[in-house]
Amino acid sequence: MISSPANRRNSLNFSGGPGALPESVLQQVQESIIAVPEVGLSILGISHRSDWFAGVVAELESNIRSLMGLSSNYHVLFLQGGATQQFSMVPMTLLRGKEYAAEYLHTGYWTGKAIPEAQREGPVRMLWSGEDMGFTRLPKDDELDFSVDAPYLHYASNETVEGLQFHRVIGRDDVPRICDMSSDFLAGPGEFDRFSLIYAHAQKNIGPAGVTVVVVKDELLDGAPTDLPGFLDYRAQIKAHSIFNTPPVFAIYVILLVTRWLRDEIGGLDAMDRINTAKADMLYQALDRSCDFYQARAHRSDRSKMNVAFTLSSPELESQFLAAAAHAGMSGLAGHRSVGGIRASLYNGLTISAVETLVSFMEEFRARRR
C-alpha cells in the first residue's frame, strides 16, 4: 500500500458522479499505472489486442454475469459514449421505421434527456410524467397503462438528480423492458432477467467515466437494422467482444477490479445492498428527525438509496451548508445545477463512516443555525 503524505487529507466524496471508488481498488489502480504486476507494462500502454486484455474482458463479463445472475442468452458489452449514446442506440436499433410507439416514463432529468433522442428515430408515447409535480415522486401502478403493442418500454431505475428510485420492476412481461440503471447498477440484487436491455455508465458505482456497460438479451436484436455504423450496432459489438475498435482499456480494467471487490470483499449484491440500505437509512432518518430544518425531496415510497436530495429553507442557508461541509472535508454535496439544493450520493464506494461523518455534521450545523 502506498500511503498519502501526512499533510494531505482527502475529502469524503459525495459527488453525484463521477463518484467515489473503494480505497482498496484505488490502491491496485495506482500500482497499475506504472506496471500491471502480471504484465510488467503500464495499464495505459497495454494493447487492447493482447491476450492479457482479452482475459480482462472475459473475466469482467463473467463477474458481471455471476453478480447479476444472468443466463447465457444475455450479452455483456463495454461501450463508449455514456448513457447518452444509449439514449440514441436503443431507438436506432428498436424504433426506426416502427409503427407503434415506444413507451417512455419521464421521471426526472435523465429520462427527460432520453425522450427527445427517441423521438428523432420513431414514435414515442410518454406514458407518465412527474414534471408537473417537480419530480418528487414516481408513478403508482394504477397510473400506468402499458400497451401490448409498444416495441419496448424505457425507464430509469434511479433518477440521479432528483433522488427517486423504483423499488419494483414495472411494465408488462410481454413487452421488452429497457432500463437505464446508470446510477444504481450493481448496487443491489434485482430481477435482471425481466429486462431485455440494461445500460449503465460506469461513473457512479463501478468505475471511472468513459465506459458504459450494456446487458442485452439475444432475441431483442432479432430484426435490428443492419445498416448502422459498427460502433452504434449492438450486434457488431457483440461479434467483436466489445473490441470493435480500441476500447477504453483503463476504465474497463478499473471496473474489473471493482467487480472483484464486490465479490471478494463485499460478498455480492445482497451484501452490497445491506450496506447501501444502512447508509441511506442513516441519512434519511437524520433528515426525518430534523424535518423542521432539512426537507427530503422525494416521497417516502420512492426514496433513492443512491442519491439523497434535500433542501434547506433558503438558497443562502444551503450555500452556508455547502461551504461549512467543504470546510469539514466533505465534497460534492451541491445539488444538480438543474434543481439546486443539496444531494448526497451514497454510491457503492462510499463508506458507512463517511455517512456517519455527514450526519454528525448535519446535526451540528442544524444546532448552530436553526
Q: Which three cell numbers stand for residue 100?
A: 407503434
The verdict on whether 110 is a catalytic residue reads: yes
- 344, β-bridge pairs: 308
DSSP state of 266: I
C-beta of 80: minimal distance to a second copy in Å?
4
From the list 47-55, 153-161, 270-278, 284-292, the region that binds a second copy by CB under 8 A is 47-55
Residues within window 90-119 making contact with a second copy, judged by CB under 8 A: 117
Are 17 and 306 in contact by the 8 Å Cβ rule? The answer is no
- In angstroms, the Cα distances linking 203 to 3, 200, 252, 274, 353 are 24, 9, 11, 21, 21
> Residue 217 or residue 336: which is nearer to a second copy going by CB?
336
Residue 353 interacts with a second copy (CB under 8 A): yes or no? no
From the list 218-226, 248-256, 272-280, 284-292, the region that binds a second copy by CB under 8 A is 248-256
From the list 63-71, 80-88, 261-269, 299-307, the region that binds a second copy by CB under 8 A is 80-88
Residue 208 interacts with a second copy (CB under 8 A): yes or no? yes
> Residue 84 or residue 147: which is nearer to a second copy going by CB?
84
* Residue among 180, 184, 233, 273 flagged as catalytic: 180
Residue 16 interacts with a second copy (CB under 8 A): yes or no? yes
Exactly one of 250, 261, 310, 365 binds a second copy (CB under 8 A); that residue is 250
* Residue among 51, 98, 110, 305 flagged as catalytic: 110
> Residue 9 or residue 168: which is nearer to a second copy going by CB?
9
CB half-sphere exposure, 273, CA atoms < 13 A:
12
Among candidates 347, 328, 327, which has minimal Cα distance to 22?
Answer: 347
CB half-sphere exposure, 317, CA atoms < 13 A:
14
The verdict on whether 288 is a catalytic residue reads: no
Dist CA 260 CA 256 (whole Å) = 6
CB atoms within 10 A of CB 218: 14
The verdict on whether 222 is a catalytic residue reads: no
Distance in Å from the first CA to the final CA of the chain? 44
Residue 122 interacts with a second copy (CB under 8 A): yes or no? no
Residues within window 323-342 making contact with a second copy, judged by CB under 8 A: 331-332, 337
Q: Residue 272: CB partners within 8 Å, gap ≥ 6? A: 186, 187, 188, 262, 266, 348
Residue 192 interacts with a second copy (CB under 8 A): yes or no? no
Are 214 and 231 in contact by the 8 Å Cβ rule? The answer is no
CB atoms within 10 A of CB 166: 20
Alpha helices in the chain (DSSP H): 23-34, 51-68, 82-94, 109-121, 234-239, 249-261, 269-289, 315-327, 352-369
Exactly one of 74, 104, 192, 244 binds a second copy (CB under 8 A); that residue is 244
> Residue 51 or residue 191: which is nearer to a second copy going by CB?
51
C-beta of 160: minimal distance to a second copy in Å?
11
Residue type, 129: S
Residue set of the binding site for L-glutamate: 49
Residue set of the binding site: 49, 83-84, 110, 160, 180, 203, 245-246
CB half-sphere exposure, 137, CA atoms < 13 A:
8
* Residue among 128, 184, 204, 227 flagged as catalytic: 204
Residue type, 323: A
Residue 229 interacts with a second copy (CB under 8 A): yes or no? yes
At which residue does the C-alpha cell 443539496 appear? Answer: 342
Residue 211 interacts with a second copy (CB under 8 A): yes or no? yes
Binding residues for a second copy, per CB under 8 A?
A: 2, 4, 8-11, 13, 15-21, 26-27, 29-30, 33-35, 37, 39-42, 44-49, 80-85, 87-88, 117, 120, 201, 203, 207-211, 227, 229-232, 244-251, 254, 331-332, 337, 349
